[in-house]
Amino acid sequence: MVNIPYGKGDFKRLRTDGQLYFDRTELLHALEAVGEQILFLRPRRFGKTLWLTLLESYYDIAAADRFEPLFGDLAIGQNPTPNRNRYFILKWNFSVIDPSGDLAHISRSLHNHLNSSIERFCNRYRQWLNRPVQIDPQDGIHSFENLLGELAAYDTPLYLLIDEYDNFANEVLTRREQGRQSYDELVGGEGVIKTVFKAVKAATDGLGLERVFITGVSPVVMSDITSGYNVAENISHWPEFHALCGLTTEELQPVCHQIAEQCQLTDSTADEALAMMRNFYNGYRFCREETQRLYNPTLTLYFLKHWQRRCRYPDELLDDNLAMDKNRLRYIAALPHGAEVIEAALNPQQSLWVAKLAQNFGVKAMLNDPPDASFIISLLVYFGVLTIQDVSPLGKLEVAIPNQVVRSLYIDRIQQQLLNGYEDNNRQQAVAELLYTEAEFEPLADFIEQRFYSVLDNRDMRWSNELTLKTTLLLLLTNDLYYLPRSELSLGGGYSDLLFEIRPDKRQAPLYDLLFELKYLSLKDLQLSAEQLSNMSREQLAELKPVKKLLDDAERQLATYQPTLEQLFPAVAWKIKSFAVVSLGIRRLVWR
């Protein structure tokens, strides 16, 4: 039976308990060759903490007697580096810093954490230390300097591991009230974060601190502390470390087959489960040279754990605790170019390109009227809500939403902008369910015209004029409980505009697969005023010559798509309902 370690970030415990581990230890040789101070950035919940605890177990002088059980059967166990079990290890985890309250409260929380970590260090290495390290209750940086002074008497160097270095600073920045001012006070001048990293930098200059490994989400905080700590090598986009955190299809395939066998399911079910995870959790690419896509490890293990325990897929494919903090998406939407990038990312007919991912940009660069959207796009890639999709012949990067889980975050954000609270949300869900279960499009069309299109027409939104019918349907119909949305699916000689395919585990539910072919006519094309358009019935609109032609064209395309779907995917018990829909400006809809 596969022992799946969902939610586990402790390498030693994972290995001791015989849990599933995907070996990355062969990268330790390359990592040591890179340099002694390293910065590694990945989105939240991407396995960074597990990697830091691996480094702790591998380099800790106090864990030398545990090397064989922890590493013996792994790649590094067969070929260890000379530095194995050679260091004292000091760990800081900045995700535990309380970001609430004023600057004094945050600083106090940070100093308390530094002091607590040094106390744990002293307890762990009690047999190596000749005398206690003096702890300054008011100043954790002073305590750190006292620790370095004590360690100067020993030959064993210090390795500092910093987890989520930017966590609490980002929380401060994105909160609603006085976030920017508090953030500036933390990172600027003699702010406490800058002071901490100045002390770390000084400690590497012959004071006993030999190696530093830092994890985080983005380079923004590191850029804003500037000279405080400008010596780390950022390996986040190096191809050799692309899969340091994250999982691959090749690794997951045998696990899926093991679980299927345990649950007495077919091999095709294992392949189906992998396809589900690919749709919802895969798609991440962090460097231009590497084309392999990575799965979010936390969400993937969540899925596998549930599937193994119940022998069926989880209904909720996103653990609510793992969703990106919506305050951060709200914050990004309010930045220059933020809202337009978020809308463009969700629009399947629009591509986002950037010359390169920025690696050194702070908050001021994003706020002070940047000439283009490159900083915002880069930040969204670091946060994991955009990813590299392709590289042009000239080296430009196309970025896109990586998977369906992330797409749902965008949809939720834009729905909050467009739907007017409880009543609208309830009605939207009701009309969507009528389409799902009865194939009744009219209630949804009425809702789009009366509530959705009217909002787009009347509200001052920078991106509303670009919102297509396809994007509108994605916003209103996407439901991860029931459907796998597919845009521009290749079907023989053409591409379907939009398909909502029933989830394989929901095939027995009273649902329809929904296939759309979408067209658009502007009021200018119709030679009608907005008032004339409003006064005509749908029947009258459908008889207008340009409308009728587009409906006929759409129906012809649908007539070829449905049998092609059945031929390409014969194992699927399709229950297809097709809709040819024409949007007349952003005011009216007609369909067949």
Q: Are 431 and 444 in contact (CB under 8 A)?
A: yes
Q: What's the CA gap between 454 and 64, in Å, rounded?
A: 68
Q: What's the CA gap between 432 and 128, in Å, rounded?
A: 66
Can you give the pLDDT at residue 201? 94
Q: How confident is the model at residue 413 (pLDDT cuts 50, 70, 90)?
A: confident
pLDDT, tens digit, 9 for 90 and up, residues 128-176: 998 889 999 999 999 999 999 999 999 999 999 999 999 988 888 877 5
Residues in the chain: 592
Indicate whether 119 pLDDT > 60: yes
Can you give the pLDDT at residue 340? 84
Can you give the pLDDT at residue 322? 54
Can you give the pLDDT at residue 463? 41
Q: Closest Cα to residue 411, out of 348, 337, 321?
A: 348
pLDDT, tens digit, 9 for 90 and up, residues 331-380: 788 888 888 888 888 877 778 999 999 888 888 878 776 778 899 999 99
H/E element, 496: strand 494-502
Residue 133's identity, in one-letter code, is V
Q: Are 381 and 406 in contact (CB under 8 A)?
A: no
Query: CA torsion 350→353→359→362, rounded to 10°?
Result: -50
Q: How confident is the model at residue 177 (pLDDT cuts 50, 70, 90)?
A: low
pLDDT, tens digit, 9 for 90 and up, residues 255-292: 999 999 999 999 999 999 999 999 999 999 999 999 99
- Is pTM, for the whole model, over 0.85? yes
Tell me the DSSP string of 217-276.
S-SHHHHHTGGGS---EE-TT-GGGTTSSSB-HHHHHHHHHHHHHHTT--HHHHHHHHHH
- 273 Cβ partners below 8 Å, 6+ apart? 256, 259, 260, 303, 307, 313
Can you give the pLDDT at residue 392? 95
Average pLDDT over residues 113-141: 96
Q: Are 581 and 443 in contact (CB under 8 A)?
A: no
Average pLDDT over residues 400-408: 91
Residue 566's identity, in one-letter code, is E
Q: What's the CA gap between 409 and 304, in Å, rounded?
A: 22
Q: What's the CA gap between 517 and 360, in Å, rounded?
A: 44
| Number of CB atoms found within 10 A of residue 33's CB | 9
Can you give the pLDDT at residue 142? 97
pLDDT, tens digit, 9 for 90 and up, residues 548-573: 999 999 999 999 998 889 888 888 99
Indicate whether 329 pLDDT > 80: no
Average pLDDT over residues 480-508: 88
Q: What's the CA gap between 457 and 587, in Å, rounded?
A: 8
Indicate whether 489 pLDDT > 90: no
Stronger pLDDT, 590 or 490, i.e. the higher one: 590
Q: What's the CA gap between 401 and 395, in Å, rounded?
A: 20
Can you give the pLDDT at residue 460? 42
Average pLDDT over residues 532-548: 92
Stronger pLDDT, 526 or 512, i.e. the higher one: 512
Indicate whether 61 pLDDT > 90: yes
Can you give the pLDDT at residue 361? 86
What the block records as the tokens of 88 is: 């004292």
Average pLDDT over residues 206-218: 96
Tell me the DSSP string of 16-33.
HTT------TTHHHHHHH
pLDDT over 90, % of the chain:
67
Domains of the chain from N-terminus onward: 26-241 (3.40.50), 249-321 (no CATH), 323-400 (no CATH), 431-591 (no CATH)
Q: How confident is the model at residue 458 (pLDDT cuts 50, 70, 90)?
A: low
Can you give the pLDDT at residue 52? 98
Can you give the pLDDT at residue 466? 41
Our separate counts of H helices and E strands in the chain read 27, 13
Can you give the pLDDT at residue 266? 94
Q: What's the CA gap between 183 and 167, in Å, rounded?
A: 12
Please work out, in degrees rounded to the nearest 5, the angle formed at the alpha carbon of residue 166 by the alpha carbons of 287 and 139. Answer: 145
Tell me the DSSP string of 504-539.
GGGTTSS--EEEEEEEEE-HHHHT--HHHHHHS-HH
pLDDT over 70, % of the chain:
95
Indicate whether 251 pLDDT > 80: yes
Residue 256's identity, in one-letter code, is C
Q: Are 45 and 222 in contact (CB under 8 A)?
A: no
From first CA to last CA, the distance across the chain in angstroms is: 52
- Mean pLDDT of the chain, nearest integer: 90
pLDDT, tens digit, 9 for 90 and up, residues 289-299: 999 999 999 99
